[in-house]
């Protein structure tokens, strides 16, 4: 190829670049630095991967930097539960035992005082039955006091109060439940308001009224007081139950020609037997150990009740604590027996009174 055929502007040979030794050394050092940095980055990535893998393993095993806990089996939890149950039962038994001792100690002390020698409370031992045993207090109670007469008076007053309360309150409840008349709501509201105030607020008025009608120091005067105190609340109680008895019974009785009195005694009263039984039991037990009105009204020793008679043994002038305990123990025996006998009747009466159809 001639010079005329050569491409203009293109050299025949690419000139070789000449690099000095200093530049070669510099390039080698830069290459070594890049390799070293790459190696360090690889090592850091490896360490980071190891740390991440270790964190996943610790999270899966529940290890958060603490020492590993021993594995708790079902036997361990059952044993722990039994231990807790035994501790709880032991605490309950100890607590109830202490409460029982606090409650029963006065009763046991009174029973032991009834059989202990001596008369005053200072002569009795603080330990039950620690001072000896004797029955002379019971002999003195029946031979030297009017204990049997007091018992008879209390029984008469309680029985009279129970019968009169059942009769008056049931009749009044029937009238308020079945009849309409003027001032019916006002009278019912007045009975409710009278129940708010305690009965001993009118002690002076009651004393004056009994004095005017010659009812002081008499058993029928006490029955009259207890009856008047029982009327407001018990009338509302029996009326609420009679309201639940269907009026269809009354209408059927009237169609058959029965009067209102016949309807009450033959139909309504048997239907209200649960609440009447409850009322009779409560009215009988109420005056049994009542003291305030009995002390105010009954003056003579022959007309006193058990509460007033027994209280006369432990006054400022007379200190017969052991005799008082003997009399209280005898009172408790028939009273407890009465509650045991009437317990089922009382519970069934309350259950029947609580059911409305």
Tell me the pLDDT tens digit for each residue of 243-272: 888 888 888 888 888 888 899 988 888 888
Residue 167 has pLDDT above 90, yes or no: yes
**Total length of the chain:** 357
* CATH number belonging to the domain at 145-312, selected among 3.50.30.40, 3.40.50.450, 1.10.3720.10, 3.40.50.970: 1.10.3720.10
Residue 347 has pLDDT above 80, yes or no: no
Q: Rounded to an integer, what distance in angstroms lies between the CA atom of residue 317 and that of residue 326?
A: 19
Q: Rounded to an integer, what distance in angstroms lies between the CA atom of residue 250 and that of residue 245?
A: 10
* Cβ count near 352 (within 10 Å): 15
**How much is the pLDDT for 5?**
47
The structural domains of the chain, with segments of one domain joined by +, span 145-312
Mean pLDDT across 138-147: 88
Which sign, positive or negative, has the C-alpha torsion 110, 112, 113, 114? positive
Residue 35 has pLDDT above 70, yes or no: yes
**How much is the pLDDT for 350?**
61
Q: Rounded to an integer, what distance in angstroms lies between the CA atom of residue 357 and that of residue 355?
A: 7
């Amino acid at each position: 190829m001639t010079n005329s055929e050569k491409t203009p502007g293109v050299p025949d040979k690419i000139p070789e670049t000449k690099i000095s030794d200093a530049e070669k050394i510099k390039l080698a050092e830069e290459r070594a630095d890049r390799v070293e940095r790459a190696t360090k980055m690889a090592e850091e990535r490896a360490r980071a991967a190891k740390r991440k893998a270790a964190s996943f393993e610790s999270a899966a095993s529940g290890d958060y930097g603490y020492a590993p806990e021993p594995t708790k089996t079902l036997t361990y939890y059952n044993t722990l539960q039994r231990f807790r149950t035994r501790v709880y039962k032991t605490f309950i038994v100890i607590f109830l035992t202490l409460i029982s001792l606090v409650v029963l100690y006065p009763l046991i002390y009174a029973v032991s005082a009834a059989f202990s020698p001596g008369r005053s409370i200072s002569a009795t031992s603080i330990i039950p039955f620690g001072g000896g045993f004797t029955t002379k207090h019971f002999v003195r109670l029946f031979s030297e006091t009017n204990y049997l007469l007091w018992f008879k008076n209390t029984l008469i007053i309680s029985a009279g109060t129970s019968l009169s309360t059942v009769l008056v309150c049931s009749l009044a409840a029937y009238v308020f439940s079945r009849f309409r008349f003027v001032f019916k709501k006002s009278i019912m509201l007045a009975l409710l308001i009278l129940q708010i105030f305690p009965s001993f607020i009118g002690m002076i008025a009651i004393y004056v009224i009994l004095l005017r009608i010659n009812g002081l120091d008499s058993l029928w005067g006490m029955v009259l007081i207890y009856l008047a105190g029982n009327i407001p609340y018990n009338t509302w109680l029996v009326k609420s139950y009679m309201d639940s008895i269907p009026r269809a019974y009354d209408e059927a009785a009237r169609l058959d020609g029965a009067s209102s009195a016949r309807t009450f005694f033959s139909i309504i009263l048997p239907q209200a037997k649960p609440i009447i039984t409850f009322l009779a039991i409560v009215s009988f037990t109420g005056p049994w150990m009542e003291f305030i009105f009995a002390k105010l009204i009954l003056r003579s020793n022959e007309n006193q009740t058990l509460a007033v008679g027994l209280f006369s043994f432990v006054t400022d002038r007379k200190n017969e604590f052991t005799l008082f305990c003997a009399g209280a123990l005898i009172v408790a025996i028939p009273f407890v027996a009465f509650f045991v006998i009437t317990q089922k009747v009382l519970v069934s009466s309350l259950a029947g009174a609580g059911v409305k159809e």
